Homo-oligomer: A and B are copies of this chain.
Amino acid sequence: MEKIGFIGLGIMGNPMAAHLLAAGYQVFLYSQGGIPAELTQAGGLACANSADVASKADVIITMVPDTPHVEAVLFGENSVSSTISAGKVVVDMSSISPVATKEFAARLAKQGVQYVDAPVSGGEVGAKAASLTIMCGGEDAVFERVKPLFEKMGKNITLVGGVGAGQITKVANQIIVALNIEAVAEALLLAAKAGADPARVRQALMGGFANSRVLEVHGERMVKRTFNPGFRIELHQKDLNLALSTARAVGVSLPNTATAQELFNSCAANGGSQWDHSGMVRALEKLANFEIGQ
């Protein structure tokens, strides 16, 4: 049985590591914010830093907030790259830059280390329920090697392509979700201000080509005015920042993603960085001087 390292034990990493421990794996733990007591009580082995983890484990999983944190864990002080040896694997399950991901993988490859990017969707609920969607990039053989670990943490596990393809897919996912939220918000707000009942409009639209998971779930939140997360606007802002910076790096113009990000920025300016992302409708409501609930 592979020895696992798990670096980053926050809201997501904590329950994900717990599933690996429950499955009987030996798991070496490190997190900048401290190691949760329940994980060591469950048999997890506390380490002093990322270098310590990488010297002891065969497969090192990282689950940290953003690109700079992954870079620090892999290449900073007391980092993974300072102790890792050939034949080991780094699996980054954070949601970070696809462009940086390819750089990190190339640097580790020089040490004989393989890399899989495997960002997730499903949030805290999915992490606790071991029902995460996991979008993977990497070589077939190394994917097969680490897939049993993914199966302890998630359900819908896809190898999309080579290194970086997982992060690209996650970015694509977050673009579509944000823009579908924006679409439903424009449509329901127009309908409401033009005098129709947005709840009945939503119901009528669910039978046709306008239907989507977002119309079902986030459309309902807009109508019922329930903006408790869910998925916080500040996290979706981070993801759209990845989308827009990746677009700039590879040379693509994303006009509606840019607008969606500006609407999130407006929500944040009005105290909404902790609202559910369906709260984007409130930025459009400000512009229209009208609320769907009126």
Give me the interface of A with B, judged by CB distance under 8 Å. Answer: 98-99, 121-122, 133, 135, 137, 156, 158, 160-162, 164-165, 168-169, 171-173, 175-177, 179-180, 182-184, 186-191, 193-197, 200-201, 203-205, 207-215, 217, 243, 246-247, 250-257, 259-260, 263, 284, 287-290
**From DSSP, what is the main secondary structure of chain A's interface residues?**
helix
CB of A40 to closest CB in B, whole Å = 33
Contacts A161-B197, A179-B182, A193-B250 given: A210-B173 contact, CB under 8 Å? yes
- Please tell me if the beta carbons of B254 and A169 are within 8 angstroms of each other in the complex: no
Is A180 a contact partner of B180 (Cβ separation < 8 A)? yes
A210 interface neighbour in B176, B208, B254, B263, Cβ under 8 Å = B176
A260 touches B251 (CB 8 A): no
**Contacting pair A194 B133 (CB below 8 A):** no
A117 to chain B, nearest CB (A): 11
Contacting pair A243 B135 (CB below 8 A): no
> How near does chain B come to A74, taking the closest CB pair, in angstroms?
21
